[in-house]
Structure 1
Amino acid sequence: MQLIPATPYQTGSQAEHRLFRKLQEAFYAESHFIAFHSLNLTRHAYKRFSEIDFLLLCPYGLYVLEVKGGGVSHQQGCWYTLDRNRQQHAIQHPFKQAQTALSAVLEKIGSAPDREGLQIASGYGVVFPDVEWQHSGAEWDRELVCDFRRFRDCEKWLQQLFRYWHRKPGNAHCLSAEQIQDLSRFLRPDFEQVESLSARLDHLQHQQVVLTEEQYRYLDIAVANPRVLCSGGAGTGKTLLAAELARRLAAEKCQVLLLCKSGWLRSYLAARILLENVMLSTLDSVVLDSRRAGITRYDVLIVDEGQDLFTWPAMAVMDDWLTGGLADGEWYIF
């Protein structure tokens, strides 16, 4: 399954990160399965702001997954999580939370004139990855719950969830590949935009550039592979991709070396990327810059202007500073 973004947001929830990895493994051989992590909603029935833990978009429709990690208790109609010290913390009703979030996202989709009347099969589920669920109740059916045991085979549970909701009246409509792509483009811009490097040229304006579908695909492919060579003509956005890739990898706590040939490009990148674990340097200054920073090796190497650095001396420098070297290390050359 394709995850958007390709790396999880830092929400502070380990349970969400575990489900993120499970979804990456699910429906691996299938096409048109997409999961959006931490999708913000601008419309909600009773909240100013709301957030969906995971929104699944696939041929079977649109599904909200609410995740609750740790222990869980339900007393007198109120829900609580239990921490390691068995202390209770009040939480929202997870099933109602998922249900209202689903209604909000369907309303948002339906408000677009070109999607008015679009029939979308939809549903929701709640994931409790740390508990064994043995409870029945009028407010939920067993099929809606993914507990510790079902979490082991998350894909199987999702298949059961899809079948459960498709048995509901008026909910048997499947989405075509074109509809999935259209809905994905509609949902994605709400939370995945990157700032244009060109906005820094005159320091007078800031603009947002939405990555093209092809560029999104490349970033997802790049993150999933340890060594990538990207070719393209001038003006095709390679520098923008290199900068965004550095930001993504830095978010994973990697020590990143972003290397280029020219000093002016280094200046542009320095104005765009202000992350302490990203070293911006040129080939001529990387040794001095790294020693001043006390860095002996980098986890990841990203090279912009790669066409100017395909020389034996340059490759020897890159090989020296990359953990694992060019043969076994993680590198991306644009």
Structure 2
Amino acid sequence: MSVSPGVWPREKPRPTPSRGEELVWEALRGGLPAGWYAWHSLRIRRGPGRETEGDFVIAAPDRGLLVLEVKGGRIEMRDGRFFQNRREMDPAPRAQGLSFVRALVDRLHAEACGPPAFGVATCFPQTAFDAGPTQDDVAQLVLGEQDLPWLERALPALFERACPPPRAARGPWIERLHRLWCETWTPKLALGHRAALDAERRVRLDEQQLAVLDSLADNASLLVEGGAGTGKTLLAREAALRFAAAGKRVLLACFTAGLAHWVREQTRAAGLVVDTVRGLAVELLKQAGEPVGDFDSPGFWEEVPLRAASDALPKLGRPFDAIVVDEAQDFSENDWMLVLELSGERPLWAFHDPGQAFWPERHVPRERFAARFALQRPYRCPPGVQALADLYLGRKADEAALRAALADGTLRIVVCPTRSSVADKAALEIDKLLGEKFAPGDIAVLSVRGRTHRDSILRLGRLGRHTLVAATDKALDGSIVGDTFLRFKGLERPAIVVTDFHLLADEARGVRMHIALTRALAAARIVLAREDLSRDEALGRLASA
């Protein structure tokens, strides 16, 4: 670390109630000898609960350091005792300086550093005198108000009186002094730690979200709309739990198996069932004794909800007293047919985000819902990641947030020289995230294409030394997930790595990227080849910036 000579702080003294210290700082700023250093208010810790401070530490590179103890106000000596503004001084003027300089030199020695010499002097900046006190320990070691305009001459003479002859210095003692004083400190928290600290804030319900839950008793059917990260899944889960606490049999229906698995593991209550609507359809057919059919046959999963509604429910009746639907924008017409048959006139709550609608032909039956509510405040994504996600939906982006995210590492665009190098670069990004204090269970690698495509990075099963598991894997919580953006819908991870851009058609880019990016709680990494960067206007502009 290189330290420039002069007085520190540069602009004004550190906060102090002492006008005397302010006067000395002003005098040093204009009168410090060339090539010398001075620090105002240098504090060091001597142990638990024990701190000491020097008003000013002055360093002459070839001569040593001098601790200058400042006593403002009117200083005089009567009956062998010092008085400050007519009040007796206790301790005496030099006592604090002597204690501090011993602690300071000990600290420097512990760092294998040491000045050529050291000493202590006193300054009475608001007391002028022709001759100083004659008490032996302070004689000729005191500066007064009359000396302040002439420090450039007074300080070298004071050093000669206060310090013993210099010896060879040890180590970069001036740089170490500056570090102890601490010119600047920019708080930096590892992204993984930042994500952990944010976790509690994200799960707290705000007034708007509580207003939704307070509607349970008043609205038998409610459609809640909210963008990514506004707390829809949190509210869906809480609403289901409240219905169950009231003694109702409740279905919490999800679209993806990954989300259903996660919610089921996090949400256990008597009378509560968590399932995908199509997985539930299969179970209803089994319970009714109806043939399920071949899972792999064309159209099976699209038709099975309709079959359950028409063939199973007439035999079983309605097994639930209330239904809560999450990711409602992804439910097909047949999915809704089963949900509406299950609910009848019973309570039905649905949570949806039109911005994440992947299938344009699918729609929420709004006419079924007597009341609607809009969540406005996003909680999940860091502002810069959210800004990029908004950009993919054609919304106005927060440019300042984007720049800040790129600068602080929240958002990173990793451009690979070739498509064949993307997997290795993605593995390296995972290593870096682990180095940023993320755990394996904090990271998800998301393909913007599909896991069954022969060229998908997910087909590798691992990236470098890291094994990937699907979003539906039982080892999900402690492992790095490797799955598609669609199968990961509704889920979230502190760190997201987005890839497989070479498989992405331009017309499908917007919604896919929006969904993938909004899974990130703390950091997003976008890994793509240079030739694919040129096809993405948003990323190309950011990468060049």
- TM-score with structure 2 setting the length: 0.32
Q: Show the counterpart of 1:220.
A: none
Structure 1 match to 2:120: 124
- Contact 2:42/2:55 (8 A) holds in 1: yes
Equivalent in the alignment of 1:70: 73
User: Is the alpha carbon distance of 1:266 and 1:111 closer, same or farther for their aligned partners in structure 2, counting shifts above 3 Å?
Assistant: same
Counterpart Cα distance in 2 of 1:119 and 1:90: 31
Name 1:11's counterpart in structure 2: 16
- The CA deviation at 1:145 is 0.7
Distance 1:196 1:186 in 2: 17
Q: Deviation at 1:120?
A: 2.7
Structure 2 partner of 1:254: none
Q: Matches of 1:50 and 1:77 in 2, distance apart?
A: 27
**Compared CA separation, residues 119 and 262, structure 1 to 2 (3 A):** closer
**Match of 1:137?**
135
Structure 1 CA distance for aligned equivalents of residues 402 and 192 of structure 2? 12
Tell me the residue number matched to 1:291: none
CA contact 1:58–1:180 (8 Å) conserved in 2 = no
Secondary structure of the residue that 1:36 maps to in structure 2?
Answer: strand
The 1:70/1:267 distance shift into structure 2, 3 A limit, reads same
Is residue 175 of structure 2 the alignment partner of residue 173 of structure 1? no
For residue 76 of structure 1, report the CA deviation from its aligned partner: 4.5
1:79–1:92 Cα contact (<8 Å) kept: no
What's the offset of the Cα at 1:126? 0.6
Q: 1:152 to 1:174 in 2, by over 3 A?
A: farther
Residue 90 of structure 1: how far off its partner (Å): 3.7
Identity of aligned residues (%): 22
1:162 Cα deviation from its structure 2 partner: 1.7
- What secondary structure does 2:172 align onto? helix
Shift of 1:154: 1.5
Q: 1:140 to 1:90 in 2, by over 3 A?
A: closer
CA positional deviation for 1:18:
1.4
1:140 CA drift (Å): 1.6
SS at match of 1:42: strand
1:57 to 49, 56, 59: 59
**C-alpha deviation, 1:14, in angstroms:** 1.4
Are 1:199 and 1:205, in contact at CA under 8 Å, matched by a contact in 2? no
C-alpha contact (below 8 Å) 1:69/1:130 kept by paired residues? yes
How has the CA–CA distance of structure 1 residues 93 and 264 changed in structure 2, closer, same or farther, with 3 Å as cutoff?
same
Contact (CA 8 Å) 1:2, 1:24: kept in 2 or not? yes
In the superposition, the TM-score normalised over structure 1's length comes to 0.51
Using the TM superposition, give the Cα deviation of residue 267 of structure 1 relative to its aligned residue in structure 2, in angstroms. Answer: 8.9
CA contact (8 A) 1:57 1:180 kept: no
* CA shift in 2, pair 1:198/1:110, >3 Å: closer
Pair 1:205–1:119, CA change in 2 (3 A): same
Contact 2:38/2:59 (8 A) holds in 1:
yes
Structure whose alpha-carbon radius of gyration is higher: 2
Where does residue 162 of structure 1 map in the other structure?
159
Query: Counterpart in 1 of 2:313?
Result: none
- 1:179-209 CA distances to partner (integer Å, 9 max, x unpaired)? 35443354244x7423238869955459xxx
Candidates 393, 401, 412, aligned match of 1:264:
401
Shift of 1:63: 0.9
1:227 alignment counterpart = none
Q: 1:2 aligns with which of 3, 6, 11?
A: 6
Compared with structure 1, are the counterparts of its residues 148 and 188 closer, same or farther at alpha carbon in structure 2 (3 Å cutoff)? closer
Distance in 2, Cα, partners of 1:265 & 1:9 = 34
User: Do the aligned partners of 1:81 and 1:91 also contact (CA within 8 Å) in 2?
Assistant: no
**How far off its partner does 1:94 sit?**
1.1
Q: Which range moves more in the overlay, 55-64 or 71-80?
A: 71-80
- Tell me the alpha carbon deviations over residues 291-325 of structure 1, each in whole angstroms, 9 at most, x when there is no partner: xxxxxxxxxxxxxxxxxxxxxxxxxxxxxxxxxxx
- Cα offset for 1:77? 4.8
CA contact (8 A) 1:35 1:57 kept: yes
In the aligned structure 2, how far is the partner of 1:53 from the partner of 1:203?
Answer: 40
Q: 1:158 to 1:199 in 2, by over 3 A?
A: farther
The residue number in structure 2 matching 1:297 is none
1:194 paired with 2:186, answer: yes
Q: Is the contact between residue 59 and residue 174 of structure 2 (CA under 8 Å) also seen in structure 1?
A: no
Does the 8 Å CA contact 1:129/1:151 hold for their aligned counterparts? yes
For residues 107 and 174 of structure 1, what CA distance do their matches in structure 2 show?
A: 17
Q: Would the aligned equivalents of 2:7 and 2:32 in 1 still touch at CA under 8 Å? A: no
CA distance in 1, matches of 2:189, 2:44: 28
Runs of 5+ consecutive residues of structure 1 not aligned to the other structure: 207-260, 269-334
TM-superposition CA deviations, 1:159-194 (whole Å, max 9, x none): 10122245x3xx323659x735443354244x7423
The 2-side partners of 1:138 and 1:181 are apart by 30
1:153 has 2:150 as partner: yes
Unaligned 5+ segments in structure 2 are: 199-397, 406-545
Residues 58 and 175 in structure 1, CA contact (< 8 A), matched pair in contact too: no
Give how far 1:49 is off: 2.1
RMSD: 3.3
1:199–1:13 Cα change, 3 Å:
farther
SS in 1 for 2:94: helix
- Kindly provide the CA deviation profile for residues 34-82 of structure 1, in whole angstroms up to 9, marking residues without a partner as x: 21111112128xx932111011122111110011111013345543310
The structural deviation recorded for 1:109 is 1.1
* AA aligned opposite 1:71: R
2:81 and 2:88 in contact (8 A); partners too: no
Distance 1:62 1:24 in 2: 17
Which range moved further: 60-69 or 6-15?
A: 6-15
> What SS does the corresponding residue of 2:15 show, helix, strand or coil?
coil
Label 1:96 to 1:89 Cα distance change in 2 as closer, same or farther (>3 A): closer
CA gap of 1:70–1:199, structure 2 versus 1, over 3 A, is farther
